[in-house]
Amino acid sequence: MAFLRSGAGVLLALAIAALLWRPIPLGLSLPAVVALGAGWRILRARVPPKRRIGVADVGLLAASVLFTLGAVEIAARVLYDFRPYADTPYVRHPKYFFVPRPGGSGTFDVNLGSGRFLHVPFAFSSQGLRERELAKKGADEYRVLLLGDSFVMGWGLPPEQTIGAQLGPMLAGRAGSKRIRVINGGVSGYGPFQEEGVLEDTGLALDPDLVLLQLFPANDIENSLAQVDKRMRAYDSGWQKHLLEFRNQNRWAVRVERLMSNHSRAVNAWINATRRHGAVASFLDGLRFLPASGLAVPGPSAPRPWWIEVTLRDWYPELQEGFDLMQRDVLAIRRTCEAHHLPFFAFTLAGGQDFIDESWADALRQAPPGTVYERGKEVRIMREFYARSGIREIDVMGALRHDPNPEELYYRYDGHLRPHGAEVVARAIADQLSASLPEE
């Protein structure tokens, strides 16, 4: 009988926990608490406990919990270095979701496989660029504004190895007596509608002479859909959660998580070790006795490799809608350039799976049987878009495909360019852009 009473007590505790958890319907949890509570009282009356729990016992338990939490916090402060909360280098923006925080800094976490990561620090200038401070343009200076996402910003690369940093010296001497200055306007996670914002809000004030836009359809289509609160059916759940953190940034649950991460080394270490930003906020938002914060969360992703979703042979409506929005925003960037009499060029980057057979085979093994893809589709449709719209294209994928050291182009488990890959891209741009630079 004592065993039954203990079991009923455990079930009652679980039912009470369910009662506090908002996602579980009240119509299920409340009757369970009432029924189990009544059963526990009946069993307790038949077999009274040998000793009643008093105030001293509760106090001892509370003291033990506080002591344990304190010990964990002290250990974390000794063993782990503090790392800023994920959104520290950026601030929320009502239109672009997030923008670089002037003077902000953070760390690129490059997945090397087998649980290993390469941590590369980065920082933004007061102008919101991964650049040194830019003064007024000199009379002998020719400025190239390079727009794009994490590939241009230089994910996992030190400042001197980014595409823009390597492109500048390669263009030196190819513009007559002008000094070439390539400006890194890349922002990790950005798509064309956000890159238009970089051009209008920051880039034009720097007086560029030419604008070069980098596109990555696998991400740009997804970013374009975010404007209309949609997403691809197979998507990067980590990125979607990160994006929603900015959209949810002023919700009380996210603010509490950020506060806990910034002031508790144990929470900070757990979040960064598990890479579960937003987990604390989601837990708090699920507690029934706290006010609902309206925290938006992404639905489940389709069981396909999201990074090759845009290469599906047959597109579903969301993919086409995202591509249409993406084209609209690229054309808007061109119109802005035309209005300011700036030459405009674009180039497309794709993942290594487009030409590295092993990477393509790895992706296909993760796709459900019968799923049909068209390898290289994103590059093809972008090339057709450029031709149809009269946009001048810089072909960098050809240079990547023909490089004799394909394993040195991309981080295999991360998907971003390695230093050699950035060099190959920069050289392809320099070779094809030279003819459009001024001779004097």
pLDDT tens digits, residue range 157-200? 999 999 999 999 999 877 777 899 999 999 999 999 999 999 99
Asked if residue 318 has pLDDT above 70, the reply is yes
Higher pLDDT, 437 or 131: 131
Same domain assignment for residues 111 and 74: no
- At 90, which helix (H) or strand (E)? strand 90-93
Same domain assignment for residues 201 and 339: yes
Q: How far is CA 56 from the centre of its chain?
A: 49
Burial of 392 (0-12, 13-18, 19+ CB in 10 A): middle
173 found inside a domain: yes
Same domain assignment for residues 107 and 141: yes
User: How many whole angstroms separate alpha carbon 360 and alpha carbon 376?
Assistant: 10
Same domain assignment for residues 222 and 350: yes
User: How many whole angstroms separate alpha carbon 417 and alpha carbon 424?
Assistant: 10
pLDDT of residue 297: 63
393 found inside a domain: yes
In degrees and rounded to multiples of 5, residue 90 shows phi and psi of -130, 160
Strand order in the sheet with 141-148: 179-186, 141-148, 210-215, 344-348, 392-393
Q: Which two tokens stand for residue 402?
A: 């023909």
42 found inside a domain: yes
pLDDT of residue 11: 65
Place 300 in a pLDDT band, splitting at 50, 70 and 90. Answer: confident
Q: In the listed set 79, 104, 126, which residue is the last one of a domain according to the structure?
A: 79
246 found inside a domain: no
376 found inside a domain: yes
Residue numbers of the domain that contains 43:
2-79
Same domain assignment for residues 195 and 54: no
270 found inside a domain: no
Same domain assignment for residues 21 and 167: no
286 found inside a domain: no
Give the count of domains, the chain.
Answer: 2
Same domain assignment for residues 216 and 361: yes
Average pLDDT over residues 91-101: 89
Same domain assignment for residues 47 and 184: no
Asked if residue 417 has pLDDT above 90, the reply is yes
259 found inside a domain: no
Q: What is the CATH number of the domain that holds 316?
A: 3.40.50.1110
